[in-house]
Structure 1
Amino acid sequence: MLRLILCLALLAFAGPARAIDLRAPFDSIDGGTLALTDWAGQPVLVVNTASQCAFTRQYRGLQDLYNRYRSQGLVVLAVPSDDFNQELDTNEDVKAFCELQYGIDIPMTTITSVKGAEAHPFYASLRDEAGFVPRWNFNKVLIGRDGRISGTFGSFVGPLSADLTGQIEAELAAAGD
């Protein structure tokens, strides 16, 4: 029964790819900015993260995912957020935690709002154009090489799950078309 409910939930998100605004840059935790448009033509997995969440161990999987597919063009972008009150106090603390605990070298933004009136323009566009708002930390949005939403995944979908890696592999294969 649970499997049926999950399948129906996935079908609810199925349908044609939807366009979203990729132009607004994020502030990089390393300084400067990160623009999704810099990765045009590449699939990008955008993940709202938090350092003090039960799902925080997914950082390891995100790094493993990036290591597995980066040479084929995948970008994994971590977007630390305190919207669910589970992020460390400063960008410096987040960066140090991720590097020391998980050896993270994926691109990472500064602490950024992902929902509500203060949501970053990318997340506001997801809400307005696709009806997607992160319900918790470690929600994942796969942007296809065409700049459209290829899939959205909740917190319980691990970075190395077959559902997510299958969608990523399809996007990477499509890049050769």
Structure 2
Amino acid sequence: MGFHDFKLKAIDGKEIDFDQYKGKKILLVNVASACGYTPQYEDLQMLSNQFGHQVVVIGIPANNFGGQEPGSNAEIQAFCKANYGVTFQMMEKISVEGKDQHPLYKWLAAESGKVPNWNFCKFLISEKGEVLGFFPSSVNPLEEVITSKL
């Protein structure tokens, strides 16, 4: 199974087939609404606006770290739009680590040897569905270490 074989539900409940992302770079970010890194939503939106022709930004809400994403999908979606004007693809809330870790994040861990250790960890995926890099929460999405790979 590869990256493009996964399907996830969007935050609005519509199924998203990752096959549609073949030929595009993807920045996957596990996000949370009540985290010190939450202002990175603004930078993720800027990245999407500035580099959207080169990379697809996908936010994946998770409540794994510090209980910082307790809201429902509808609450998360409303928060993101109202506070950060998020228009990039947001998925439904899943678990990114632990015993109930989503299969996508199991695959990412197997491919990269990395698992998120806090909110706003980033995986950069190539056009062919390979993991190009893992960036911890402290790396801003607009930093050259990410943008230079786009």
TM category (shorter chain) comes to over 0.9
- The correspondence of residues 23-172 of structure 1 with structure 2, limited to 5 A, is 23-70=5-52, 72-84=53-65, 85-168=67-150
- Quick check: 1:23–1:35 contact (8 Å CA) kept in 2? yes
Which whole-Å CA distance do the structure 2 matches of 1:35 and 1:117 have between them? 24
Root mean square deviation, CA, Å: 1.4
Give the Cα separation in 2 of the matches to 1:25 and 1:118.
17
Q: CA deviation at 1:31?
A: 2.1
The Cα of 1:20 is off from its aligned counterpart by: 4.7
Q: Normalising by structure 2, what TM-score?
A: 0.94
Q: 122-131 or 59-68: which moved more?
A: 122-131
Select between 158-167 and 29-38 the one with higher mean Cα deviation.
29-38
Deviation at 1:38, TM superposition (A): 1.2
Aligned length: 149
Whole-angstrom CA distance in 1 between matches of 2:2 and 2:20: 15
One-letter identity of the residue aligned with 1:136: W
Query: Alpha-carbon deviation of 1:22?
Result: 3.5
Give the 4+ runs in structure 1 shifted more than 6 A.
Answer: none
More strand by share: 2
The DSSP-based 3-state class of the residue aligned with 1:48 is strand
For the Cα contact (< 8 Å) 1:20–1:126, is it kept in 2? no
Deviation track 1:122-157 (CA, whole Å, cap 9, x = no partner) reads 101112232110010000000011210111100000
Which string of whole-angstrom CA distances, capped at 9 and with x for unpartnered residues, describes residues 46-81 of structure 1?
Answer: 0000000000000000000000011x2410000000
Work out whether residues 12 and 74 of structure 2, in 8 Å CA contact, stay in contact via their aligned partners in 1: no
Kindly, what percent of the aligned residue pairs are identical? Answer: 37
Larger Rg: 1
Of Structure 1 and Structure 2, the greater helix share is in: 1
* Stretch deviating more after TM superposition (92-101 or 108-117): 108-117
Q: Distance in 2 between matches of 1:21 and 1:147?
A: 5
